[in-house]
Structure 1
Amino acid sequence: MNKASRLFCPALITPKNAVVKQTEQLSRSQKLLTDLGLIKSGSNGTYQIMPIAQRSLDKLIDLVQSNMQLAGGQKISLPILTPSALWKKTGRLEGDISEFYMVRDRSGKQFLMSPTHEEAITAMLATTSPISYRQLPLRLYQIGPKFRDELKSRFGLMRAKEFLMKDMYSFDVSEETARESYSAVSEAYDRLFQQLEVPFVKVNAATGMMGGSLSHEYHYVSTVGEDSLVQCTSCGFAGNSEVLTTPENCPSCQSSNLNEVRGVEIAHTFLLGDKYSTPLGATFLNTSGKPQSVIMGCYGIGITRVIAAALEVFSSEQELQWPKLLAPFDVCLIGPKQGSKEQQPAEVIENELLNSVGQLCGPQELLHDDRKDLTIGKRLLEAKRLGHPLTIVVGGKAIQQDSPKLEVHFNGGDKLELDLSETLKLVAEHSRHKKDLLLGNFKKEDGAKKSQAVGHQL
């Protein structure tokens, strides 16, 4: 069981009457995560993840991995350092590389601290023993750090110089089967973002420096977003303004009800063709036994960015609010204050709850705020700011003779006074809902409304 007294959570303490000089524009998520001690700035554009936020990060990683495996993905790990010679072969070294970190080893050989791994994984395949068409499609993914020397790193984890990313690469025998891979991974992305229950939009996008013939972006709509999107309020269609240049009517339903909104890009998919496989010599043996270039796709998700952007969408100025599947803990249990008149009898109920709630949601999902030197009010205020989905308070009302009640506080402000059995029923319902989300048991129409995504012809 997790005890609040043992959690390393170095919250920022601002002295009373202190004048705080704001040197940069802070997003809501960045301020809350920093003030509450969930992340710390390591240097300009880099962040240290503290234990509570790491729990959320690990949950997202597990969720992403389960969806990638359902899409036929196999996990690998590639070196962070990629020889710049590979980027020269594909022509990308000749483009704008001002955002990339370049390093040299002691012999003078140049490397990129990889912002992405198309060249690295294609070269890996090219140097593997001849691959037969029977071994394709191949869908390989990894989760690891990426690096970009952002000119304006801002909004905490949303635009950082070092960030965590899931990148998958597909290899197919033809354009037709590559589109099948693209569809399979896209479906996995749709499912993942529906599981998170944060409204998102999926838009046609420009291929940019990545290249290829087809591209889609996934966005959370937020005022701090850096992308300009055009959204139809009639049918839900959305597109990137880079692709939709000054449209007067919706390309999907012809409605004129178009709004411009800001979006935070959280994922991107590309159908690459042979842009990388041909210059790097990544081939397979076709049915005639002759080498032929593999057809590729690549698919990224900004892991740390999803966390920050979801909090940006959901949270208030004062309190975090997590997607249910990403909340660091499901339940926070607050017992009576030390030395209070109700301490002894209330602790009997508290201990019963620790056992019963732990069985319902799992002991690792229960946080026991055992800091009884603090008042219930102070602990409750912190629990609300940290955004636990359910906070149960065992106070004076819990030992009333006629009608003992527990206080159950919901993330977002609502409060109920319930007896023990009603409280446990609420915890069970929360756990059931999480299991349904993990299994993908949500209504298709609800997912469509949440995503406001449009089915594109691939």
Structure 2
Amino acid sequence: MNKASRLFWPTLVTPKNAVVKPTEQLSRSQKLLTELGLVKAGSNGTYQIMPIAQRTIDKCIQLVQRNMQAAGGQKISLPVLTPAQLWKKTGRLDGDISEFYMVRDRSGKQFLMSPTHEEAVTAMLASAAPISYRQLPQRLYQIGPKFRDELKSRFGLMRAKEFLMKDMYSFDVSLDAARQTYATVTAAYERFFRQLELPFVRVEAASGIMGGSQSHEYHFISPVGEDTLLQCSNCSYAGNTEVFGNEADAPSTCPSCQSAQLSRVRGVEVAHTFLLGDKYSKPLGATFLNTSGKPEPLVMGCFGIGITRVIAAALEVLSTEQQLRWPKLLAPYDVCVIGPKAGSKEQASAERIEHELLNQLAQICGAEQLLHDERKELTIGKRLLDAQRLGHPLTIVVGAKATQLEAPKLELHTSGSEKLELEVAEVLQLVTQHEQHKQQLLQSQLEETNSEQQQEQKRFGHVH
């Protein structure tokens, strides 16, 4: 079980009479994560992740992996350093490379600290030739650090120079098969975002330096978003104004249905998908052997999710100015238990109830999902304030009312709601309902995946 007294949790404390210098505008998520000691700035644009926030990152990774594996993904790891020569072959070093970190080894060979890995993974497939059409499709993904020399890093984890990303690369025998992979993986993306229970929008997007014939972005709607999105209330059209060159060139009527019911909102991009075709496979010689035994270029797609950006953007959308709010599946802990203050007259009797409660909760949600705030030198009020600011989905207080001879009560604080005074059995029932809801979110993935796999089997006549 996790104990609050053992957590490395370096909160920022501002002296009462301190003069606070004005700083650059912070996003809500950046301000709270920093003040609460969950994230610390390592340098301009880089961040150190403390244990509480690391739990959320690990949960996000696990959820992403569940969905990628359900979509036929296989996990790999590629080196951070990619030979610049590969990027020269695809022509991507010919454009604006000001955001790339370039390094040289002692022999003078140049490398990129990769912002993305299309060249690296395609060269890997090329070196594995010959690949038979029977081995396709291949859907390979990794989760690791990416690097981008942002001119102006801001909003904390939402726009950093080093960030954590899931990137998948797909290889198919034809454009039609690649479109089917695109549909399968993007369905997994939408399922992932639904599991977070956050409103999101999928929009048509510009392919930019990545290239390809089709591209979509996934956004959380937020005032701090750096993209302007068009949404039509008359049809299902949604697009990034970048599709039209820039915001000034974007139309005032819907490009799909020509309706004037077109609104503009700000969005935080959290994922991006591309249908690449043979943009990388041709110059790098990544081929497969077709049914006639002749080589053909592999047809590719790529699919990215910003792990750290998803977390920061979710907090930006859900949190208040003073308190964090987490997606249920990503909260660092499910339940926080606060016991009586040391030296209080009810301490002995309340602690007996507290320990029994902890045992019962461990049976319901698992000891690893419990945080026991046993810092009993602090008042219940101080510990409760910490718990509310950290945004635990459920916080249970075992105080004086728990020791009443008639109708003993616990305090239950749910994230964003008023406190409830309930009997132990009622509290345990609400915790059980919380856990059941989490399981339902995960179960929906299993049901959708089974349906998608059946459709793929019908389409291709075998399991990919």
Identify whether the pair has TM-score above 0.5, normalized to the shorter chain: yes
Aligned position for 1:108: 108
Any idea what SS the aligned residue of 1:99 has?
A: coil
Give 2:43's aligned residue: 43
Asked whether 1:299 is paired with 2:303, we answer yes
CA contact (8 A) 2:315 2:325 kept: yes
Counterpart of 1:176 in structure 2 is 176
After TM superposition, the structure 1 stretch with the greater mean CA deviation from structure 2, 186-195 or 246-255, is 246-255
Count the aligned residue pairs.
444
Q: Conserved in 1, the CA contact under 8 Å of 2:129 and 2:286?
A: no
1:76 aligns with 2:76: yes
Which secondary structure state, in structure 1, belongs to the residue aligned with residue 381 of structure 2? Answer: helix
1:398 matched residue in structure 2? 402
Query: What code does the residue aligned with 2:201 have?
Result: V
Structure 2 counterparts to residues 70-219 of structure 1, below 5 A = 70-219=70-219
Match of 1:381 in 2: 385
Aligned equivalents of 2:259, 2:414: Cα separation in 1: 39
Please tell me the residue identity of whatever aligns with 2:17. N
Q: Which residue of 2 aligns with 1:370?
A: 374
RMSD, matched Cα: 1.4
2:7 corresponds in structure 1 to 7
Aligned counterparts of 2:423 and 2:445: Cα–Cα separation in 1: 30
Judge conservation of contact 1:436–1:442 (CA < 8 Å) in 2: no
**Aligned equivalents of 1:140 and 1:169: distance in 2?**
5
Q: CA deviation at 1:252?
A: 5.0
Displacement of 1:238: 2.1
Residue 243 (structure 1) shift: 2.2
**Pairs within 5 Å for 1:418-457:** 418-440=422-444
List aligned pairs for 1:233-272, cutoff 5 A: 233-235=233-235, 237-243=237-243, 245-251=249-255, 254-272=258-276
Q: Distance in 2 between matches of 1:76 and 1:323?
A: 28
Q: Name the CA distance, whole Å, in 1 between partners of 2:422 and 2:445.
A: 29
8 Å contact kept, 2:191–2:445: no
Q: CA deviation at 1:242?
A: 1.8
Q: Deviations over 1:399-439 (max 9, x none)?
A: 11221111100111321110000000000000000011112
Shift of 1:251: 4.3
The whole-number CA distance in structure 2 between the counterparts of 1:432 and 1:234 is 37
Deviations 1:327-371 (A, max 9, x none): 000000000000001111111110111001111011111100000
Cα distance in 2 between the residues matched to 1:236 and 1:363: 44
Alpha-carbon contact 2:53-2:332 (below 8 Å) kept: yes
For residues 378 and 241 of structure 1, do their structure 2 counterparts lie closer, same or farther at Cα, with a shift above 3 Å needed? Answer: same
Structure 1 length-normalised TM: 0.95
Describe the SS at the equivalent of 1:21.
coil
From the superposition, tell whether residues 99 and 404 of structure 1 become closer, same or farther in structure 2 (CA, over 3 Å). Answer: same
Letter in 1 for 2:401: K
Deviations 1:296-324 (A, max 9, x none): 00000000000000000000000000000
1:360 paired with 2:364, answer yes
Quote the offset at 1:228 in angstroms.
0.6
Native 8 Å contact 2:271 2:305 kept in 1: yes
Shifted more, 429-438 versus 236-245: the winner is 236-245
1:442 CA drift (Å): 11
- Aligned to 2:252, the other structure's residue is in SS state coil
Residue of structure 2 equivalent to 1:223 = 223
Deviation track 1:129-179 (CA, whole Å, cap 9, x = no partner) reads: 310010000000000000000001000000000000000000001000000
Conserved 8 A contact 2:129-2:287: no
Stretches of structure 2 lacking an aligned partner (at least 5 in a row): 449-464
- Find the aligned partners of 2:90 and 2:137 in 1 and give their Cα distance: 23
What letter matches 2:192 in structure 1? L
One-letter amino acid matched to 1:90: T
Q: 1:364 to 1:234 in 2, by over 3 A?
A: farther
Q: Which moved more, 1:306-315 or 1:225-234?
A: 225-234
- Is the CA contact 2:221–2:268 (under 8 Å) kept in the aligned structure 1? yes
Shift of 1:60: 0.3
Q: Evaluate the alpha carbon distance shift between residue 313 and residue 401 of structure 1 in structure 2; reply closer, same or farther with a 3 A threshold.
A: same
Mean CA deviation greater in 243-252 or 197-206: 243-252
SS, match of residue 440 in structure 1:
helix
Instruction: Name the residue aligned to 1:318.
Output: 322
What is aligned with 2:334?
A: 330
What one-letter code is carried by the residue in structure 1 that aligns with 2:308? T
8 Å CA contact 2:129, 2:288 repeated in 1: no
SS at match of 2:242: coil
Q: 5+ unaligned residues in a row in structure 1: which ranges?
A: 445-458
- Whether the 8 Å CA contact 1:271–1:298 is kept in 2: the answer is yes
